[in-house]
Structure 1
Amino acid sequence: MRKLPIDVTLPELKAVLVSQVNAVLVAPPGSGKTTQVPLALMDEPWLKGQRILMLEPRRMAARAAARYMARLLSEQAGETVGYRVRLDSCVGPRTRIEVITEGVLTRMLQNDQGMAGVGLIIFDEFHERSLQADLGLALALESQAVLREDMRLLVMSATLEAEPVAKILGNAPVIHGTGQIFPVETHYLERRITTRAETAVTQAIFTALSANTGDILAFLPGAGEIRQVQAELATGGIERFARVAPLYGSLPPAGQDAAILPGAPGERKVVLATSIAETSLTVEGVRTVIDSGLMRVPCYSPGTGLTRLETIRVSREAADQRRGRAGRLGPGVCYRLWTKQDDLYLEAKARPEILSADLASLVLELAAWGVTDPQALAWLDIPPAAAFIQSRELLCMLGAITENGSITGHGRRMAAAGLEPRLAHMILTAEELGIGGLACELAAILSERDFFQGENGIRDVDLRLRVEALRNPNYSAQQGAAIRRIKEYSKRLAQIFGLDDKQTAIDDCGLLLAFAYPDRIGQLRSDGRFLLANGRGAKISGTQPLGRSSYVVAADLDGEGTDSKVFLAAPLMLAQIERYFGPQIIEENSVVWDTAAQAVRSRRYRRLGALILNESPIANPEPAAAQAALLHGIALAGLSILPWSKQACQLRQRLLFIRQYESNWPDLSDESLLATLEHWLGPYIQGITSRGQLEQLSLAAILTNMLTWQQRQELDEYAPTHIVVPSGQRIMIDYSTTDNPILAVKLQEMFGLNDTPRIACGKVAVTLHLLSPAQRPVQVTRDLASFWRTTYFEVKKDLMGRYPKHYWPDDPWTAIPTNRVRPRSS
């Protein structure tokens, strides 16, 4: 067995774990911690023959690590060292070391909180901070504190910030290991790539093959990009130089081994990998790394409740991990397909998944553990409150937990399945209807990447087509590994839930999806556009038949824009909604103001979330509701919607005038009247439901009723409607400018009056608009005496020339007032 750098650190680690129950080990990539630490600790006395569980973030890494350790012991996996991952278990009665994925640990903890027979849990590559790793550590710490004080916890990583982890482990010791990383020559681009990333990677591979020796490891964001680069390399004649080996999570074990294990003597290998090859896995023979600088991560939006895979820039930490792969065996080379300038702006590290993931699974697991408040456990990062609350609401909708967060019997069955909660609920509900086999097929399809191509490369969104393809032997033969994987997972799900996997008609696909995604039941608005039960919009692109269905369920959509693009859906019938979602259907009466009709409209609706399933008119709405709707309509339209007669307008203006001087009088400003509609107008509109019927109101009488008896007596004294002028005529006062009432009167009618008429109990002089015989203002004044004294003679001179027949005396103080051309006596 060859010596590895971690060997130097093992004695210190062993010594620490003799006296401490928790520890943190930080050692560089390639130091051998993943495979050497479990083997070195397996026979420690404190283990007392108990098992070691080691968590790996990915299934491929778990299988590879177990097989490698088994080979070191000259055994097969499943003997001393085994593994447990989804859909694949290889352990035996003599197994002492189990390499497991993080979800498996959660199930083991839930099944036995005391973890009987387990002496050590190792959290490997913890720097990746997956949601399940954070949850597993929180539950393991709780188990240790309450039930298993003797159980050891060891957190290992190459790039971990050790202090925060050590703190939640009870200030555990931190052991720093050494590594042997050879220098790696790093190349950057002179300018940003203008081609597709796949083309840039292909070009870099051919450059590296001619410039360097050894195998090449190229990092790409996903399997689709890997297949594209494979095709471009084949077109370029790569087979003359090297063997191409893809490496991604859903690849069969044989394909993974072909990428990981050393090639034949003299053979060069080009491994095209996702970020799965950053850590844990050692790809033998690599001397050159080509980094696209991209990675694909799930991103959850609390606003939409959707998780989408997004392609993003790698972090500084991830980029350095990738580069380090070229320096495992000797000096290496790394080609980074970005510029030095762009390198300065890389994020330091990836964001922990718990801060940006769908927390439904976590909330369900905590409820199953007996925790309703996440702060009761130890976390490096507390789950975000908004996402936590939204996940609780979803689980309540699915019947998995109660409103206070306690788990239900149905929820326990969901959690025990170890499946995404929506899909677990779908299968359990389908079981009761005798269509569990179809539900398992759907869950398997939705858990994997979409394999369906359709005719002429057009990808129809109808999920039923995937089920038909899954059952079609000819189609299955074409798709190979993807179909086999889905079929195996479907059968495994049937076993987990104790179902037979008989195939039933695909007509119920939409119903089953509705059980999983009740918030994404969509109602047709227009061709291809739907309103979802959660209130968001969705669209089915093109002229697909499903885009004309009255109801659909969207299982997969992008959550972007006003109308999210639908990727997978199935049709649903209204009768199915009525039958199976009755408890969620709310019947409500709606009495609202219809702006277009200018009337109150009363309807009875049956609603599922934001969807109106049907409606009917209400002949006799409740009076209070009708009145509230009418008042709302008046508030929207403004006071102009009311029948303001000349009398009502003047009365309101008079009262507004008085209000300036007497604060105890009613406030009839627009703002006040609109704000108090219910109080002053409400009693008079009973039975009125339209603008036309409002015309019967007498606003003058309504406004008068707002006054006290005393105010009604004083109204004419404060704000008279008319003033009797010297000519004997009653002239109406214009209160339209409430701070400056106007008396418009012919000049000759005011002869003999020395002072300006006053109102408001003598407090305010009216503004006189003195008119010519043609009723045009010749003078505006609030000081009549001054006008007679200084200005009248100029006005007289001007008007006598234009109106010679009219009366223009020299002495306005003693002249006879008249509303005629001349006084009768003259």
Structure 2
Amino acid sequence: MIPADALERLPVRTALPALTRALDEHGAAVLCAPPGTGKTTLVPLVLAGLAGPPGDEARDAAERPVRRVVVAEPRRIAARAAARRMAWLLGEEVGGRVGFTVRGERRAGPSTVVEVVTTGVLLQRLQRDPELAGVDAVVLDECHERHLDADTAAAFLLDVRAALRPELRLVAASATTDAEGWARLLGGAPVVEAQGVSHPVDVVWAPPERPVRPPHGMRVDPVLLEHVAAVVRRALREREGDVLCFLPGVGEIGRVAGLLGGAQGPGGAEVLQVHGRAPATVQDAVLAGGSGRRRVVLATSVAESSLTVPGVRIVVDAGLAREPRTDHARGLSALTTVRASRAAARQRAGRAGREAPGTVYRCWAEADDVRLPAFPAAEITVADLTAFALQVACWGDPDATGLALLDAPPPGALAAARGVLTATGAVDAVGRPTDRGRRMARLGVHPRLARALLDGAREVGARRAAEVVALLSEEPPREYGDDLAAAWRSARRGGDAYGARWKAEAKRLESAVRSASGGAAPEARGPQRTEGPGQPAASGAGGARDGLSAPQGGSRSPAGSPHADDAVAGLIAALAFPERVARARGGESYLMVSGTGAGLGEGSRLHSAPWLAIAVADRPVTAASARVRLGAVIDEDTAREAAGALFSESEEVCWSGERRDVVARRVARLGAVELTAGTLASPDPSLVRAALVEGLRREGLGLLRWSPEAVGLRQRLAFLRRELGDPWPDVSDEALLGRADDWLGWELDRARRRADLERLDAGKGLERLLPWAGGEAARLEELAPERIEVPSGSRIRVDYAGEQPVLAVKLQELFGMRETPRLAGGRVPVLVHLLSPAGRPAAVTADLASFWRDGYRSVRAELRGRYPQHPWPEDPSTATATRRTNARR
């Protein structure tokens, strides 16, 4: 029986009658309960009949109906902690009536009535047994976090209730969530709210005094971390109780711990680190409470909900969180650091008031608080959807259109995920799962890793493949370095928490791959390869798209060969991420077969490797290329084997920007990586023509020969297009480059290289654009004459280069011309530049009649003294035009 004083401290008990009625009447309910009310621990016990509702606590447990309840938590640490808390309330050990199952660990037995599992484990069970035989109720805890597995599990459970188990009870529980949205999703389920015992929490705004650069990628400004450590010291001085400090990740926790002095913190306080990778003993010690010393608990978002850390009266919130992001164009998925949402900030602050009044120190300005996002992004909208796509395919709804989801998966992300699954052979052309895909889904790892495990086991044996995949399923600590093979050796040596978890996961994966193979024990096949990276070896190519086909080559090195670890680690990483196979291109720079650049960090162990299989990489926002976090040295044969579907041989005829000419080659490529190239003697003429056109578009029309006549014709056509429009052609650079095939015609067919382009007469090509069909071409000289005859008899060239045509002519040659010549059918007067006898500008006019009347006298007065031998009549409009000086007397 649960102690009465323990029940009194769980305020959710007052909401239990309403919750019970809701489940009896509707079969589903949304439970909203603030942190610390006991929703995670008391509700499952009541639903299972292990505890009575208010007023019925003393009833003999034998009289209550016992139901089996599954509680789904988003994190392993929360699942273990919830099971331990419920078992403690019953006065039992975990594994009896209350148990838990997380990946790699199970403590439950035949007598277990309440089982706490992670949402990933729940998904695996639903795929194996959609009816959830023997389960009476499922509690989805912490729905507000919007983890992809939790959203998927909710959708599957609603399908189960609708089609197979209408009697299955379903509770969506959370402290802060979109209650109405979840209620609609659950078919109009009632919303039950529990009132918590709200201890006041004072808010202290503690922004940094120095400017802090915003986070990008996984990087957090060290200035902020120094400030957070200073705020922790301040909180210890100003307030009583333990401190819970929220930081975005394991790296930041380690840095702040170092700034605080390690395990022995300020004032003798004990500094503890809580995150998903922390040893279970450390997690248990934190959740069990202190031993008299003050404690500073540095935690990631795992401590936001589901967990109560005894003794905490102070929260220091750095204001940051980690969310998944996927760069589908580059094939990179990683966590990125973002500003925490206001909902997360409320959750974190609430940890200070779980047991008594508390204080939260927020490391940002109050004015910035309103600019925070209201809720965290739903993982389905930002994450890699490959695992989700395989789950829904195995569920029977490849497009996820029939699933009840709060947010639909983005079509582009789902299409990219489907492409990966198709290439790995996990689904067929219409998205249905293959037998191979179902085996991959049962392995409990990302489909890419499942592919590497299945195919790698055939190449190097189940145990070795499982060990490397276990390294990839949970990234090793940074201190292991960026060399996957070296990290493998470090994990085998053990001695730390990661090594213990890795060993357990490798054992689980080895068992899983053997089961997936029908109980057989896949071992390395074919002749054993003993040479190391960079040495020649047999290889194979071919397969499906995207470099994800099953390997076709021989086996890797046996365990005893000197380079076995490197070869095996490289093969498994390349099988998992074939599009990240990369070749060195000078210095520390690499080019992945996907086309993305990558660089090594300072002091990398992978220095000077000719080929890499990149397992983990991220691309900072401001960086032009990705940064390698974890990779393995491979040789070209392994690269071709793993990414064989991206291998291609082709005749490549293109315009080279570097050589500024046509290049014709026979090229072998692995995706974007060029392997070999040779000169192509007789390229396809159509490809050459296309390359020349591309060269024109990239280099410009200056590649052609532009005689003065061609330039003039283009200017005349541009003038007519501007003034008259159709049918006169557009001869702008953009238009001519877009129609190069049309106006350069058969002359382009004879060209083979840039030198041939330079011999092409652009003028002849322009003549093809004239409107011959309608007869307008014959009016070219009438509408835009190349030259205009003036009264002196001279034929003067018209300059069409500017906005208005210009006729530059000596003043004496226009005597007797009363009106300005007009072009374009009389629409546009020419701009007459009147020149002195020496050819220098004397006046400009577009109205000769007005010039003769008003402007000529001043020009005559200025110039006739300087040019006395030239005629300067009083009335130029009636004088005789001349090209000569006055006749000799």
Q: TM-score range by the shorter chain?
A: 0.7 to 0.9
1:201–1:290 CA contact under 8 A, matched in 2: no
Give the alignment partner of residue 285 of structure 2, picking from 255, 258, 270: 258
Spell out the pairing of 1:50-129 with structure 2 (5 A cutoff).
51-129=68-146
- 1:555–1:735 distance in 2 versus 1, CA, 3 Å: same
1:293–1:319 CA contact under 8 A, matched in 2: no
- 1:132–1:47 distance in 2 versus 1, CA, 3 Å: farther
Counterpart of 1:207 in structure 2 is 237
- 1:665–1:110 distance in 2 versus 1, CA, 3 Å: closer
Q: Kindly state the Cα deviation for residue 102 of structure 1 after the two structures are TM-superposed.
A: 0.6
Letter matched to residue 127 of structure 1 = H
Find out whether 1:630 has 2:697 as its counterpart. no
How many angstroms apart in 2 are the aligned matches of 1:80 and 1:694?
A: 86
Spell out the pairing of 1:301-700 with structure 2 (5 A cutoff).
301-302=326-327, 305-329=331-355, 331-338=356-363, 341=366, 344-345=369-370, 347-451=373-477, 453=479, 459=481, 461-471=482-492, 473=493, 476-477=494-495, 480-498=496-514, 504=559, 505-506=564-565, 507-542=567-602, 544=604, 546-560=606-620, 561-595=623-657, 597-652=659-714, 666-667=728-729, 669-671=731-733, 672-700=735-763
How many angstroms apart in 2 are the aligned matches of 1:763 and 1:314?
A: 67
How many angstroms apart in 2 are the aligned matches of 1:512 and 1:70?
A: 41
Counterpart of 2:38 in structure 1 is 32
1:67–1:76 CA contact under 8 A, matched in 2: yes
- 1:652–1:48 distance in 2 versus 1, CA, 3 Å: same
How many angstroms apart in 2 are the aligned matches of 1:227 and 1:762?
A: 83
How many angstroms apart in 2 are the aligned matches of 1:718 and 1:523?
A: 62
Counterpart of 2:170 in structure 1 is 153
2:453–2:466 CA contact under 8 A, matched in 1: yes
- 1:637–1:339 distance in 2 versus 1, CA, 3 Å: closer
- 1:520–1:50 distance in 2 versus 1, CA, 3 Å: same
**Which structure 1 segments of 5+ residues have no match?**
none
Counterpart of 1:288 in structure 2 is 313
How many angstroms apart in 1 are the aligned matches of 2:69 and 2:814?
A: 113
Letter matched to residue 13 of structure 1 = L
Q: Kindly state the Cα deviation for residue 159 of structure 1 after the two structures are TM-superposed.
A: 3.0
Counterpart of 1:130 in structure 2 is 147
What do the CA deviations read for 1:650-709 (whole angstroms, capped 9, x no partner)? Answer: 555566667688767643633554443221212222121334323544445444555549
Letter matched to residue 491 of structure 2 = L
What SS does structure 1 have at the residue aligned with 2:40? helix
What SS does structure 1 have at the residue aligned with 2:101? strand
Decide which moves more: 654-663 or 347-356: 654-663
Q: Kindly state the Cα deviation for residue 494 of structure 1 after the two structures are TM-superposed.
A: 0.8
Q: Kindly state the Cα deviation for residue 124 of structure 1 after the two structures are TM-superposed.
A: 2.0
What SS does structure 2 have at the residue aligned with 1:681? helix
* TM-score (structure 2 length as normaliser): 0.79
How many angstroms apart in 2 are the aligned matches of 1:653 and 1:237?
A: 83
How many angstroms apart in 2 are the aligned matches of 1:595 and 1:446?
A: 40
Q: Kindly state the Cα deviation for residue 403 of structure 1 after the two structures are TM-superposed.
A: 4.8
Letter matched to residue 409 of structure 1 = D
**Which structure 2 segments of 5+ residues have no match?**
51-61, 211-224, 515-520, 525-557
- C-alpha RMSD of matched pairs (Å): 4.1
How many angstroms apart in 1 are the aligned matches of 2:277 and 2:844?
A: 92
Q: Kindly state the Cα deviation for residue 85 of structure 1 after the two structures are TM-superposed.
A: 0.7
How many angstroms apart in 1 are the aligned matches of 2:259 and 2:777?
A: 94
How many angstroms apart in 2 are the aligned matches of 1:221 and 1:761?
A: 75
What do the CA deviations read for 1:341-396 (whole angstroms, capped 9, x no partner)? Answer: 26844554433333333222212211111112223111122233343333333333
How many angstroms apart in 2 are the aligned matches of 1:763 and 1:235?
A: 87
Decide which moves more: 366-375 or 687-696: 687-696
- 1:40–1:96 distance in 2 versus 1, CA, 3 Å: same
- 1:812–1:387 distance in 2 versus 1, CA, 3 Å: closer
Letter matched to residue 705 of structure 2 = P
Letter matched to residue 405 of structure 1 = G
* TM-score (structure 1 length as normaliser): 0.85
How many angstroms apart in 2 are the aligned matches of 1:755 and 1:224?
A: 85
Decide which moves more: 46-55 or 232-241: 232-241
Letter matched to residue 156 of structure 2 = L
What do the CA deviations read for 1:540-598 (whole angstroms, capped 9, x no partner)? Answer: 12354524233323222232121222211122322223334332224444433345544
How many angstroms apart in 1 are the aligned matches of 2:819 and 2:228?
A: 96
- 1:661–1:164 distance in 2 versus 1, CA, 3 Å: closer
How many angstroms apart in 2 are the aligned matches of 1:236 and 1:582?
A: 50
- 1:665–1:565 distance in 2 versus 1, CA, 3 Å: closer
How many angstroms apart in 2 are the aligned matches of 1:808 and 1:248?
A: 100
How many angstroms apart in 2 are the aligned matches of 1:774 and 1:14?
A: 109
2:640–2:670 CA contact under 8 A, matched in 1: no
Spell out the pairing of 1:724-803 with structure 2 (5 A cutoff).
731-736=795-800, 740=805, 742=807, 744=809, 747=812, 774-775=838-839
What SS does structure 2 have at the residue aligned with 1:546? coil
Letter matched to residue 539 of structure 1 = G
How many angstroms apart in 1 are the aligned matches of 2:828 and 2:285?
A: 102
How many angstroms apart in 1 are the aligned matches of 2:724 and 2:411?
A: 54
2:203–2:360 CA contact under 8 A, matched in 1: yes
What SS does structure 1 have at the residue aligned with 2:41? helix
1:188–1:340 CA contact under 8 A, matched in 2: no
Q: What fraction of aligned residue pairs are identical, expressed as a percent?
A: 37
Decide which moves more: 809-818 or 310-319: 809-818
What do the CA deviations read for 1:695-742 (whole angstroms, capped 9, x no partner)? Answer: 544445444555549667666666666677777x66353354685463
- 1:612–1:48 distance in 2 versus 1, CA, 3 Å: farther
Find out whether 1:142 has 2:152 as its counterpart. no
Letter matched to residue 503 of structure 2 = K
Counterpart of 2:12 in structure 1 is 6
Counterpart of 1:279 in structure 2 is 305
How many angstroms apart in 2 are the aligned matches of 1:657 and 1:295?
A: 62
How many angstroms apart in 2 are the aligned matches of 1:87 and 1:602?
A: 56
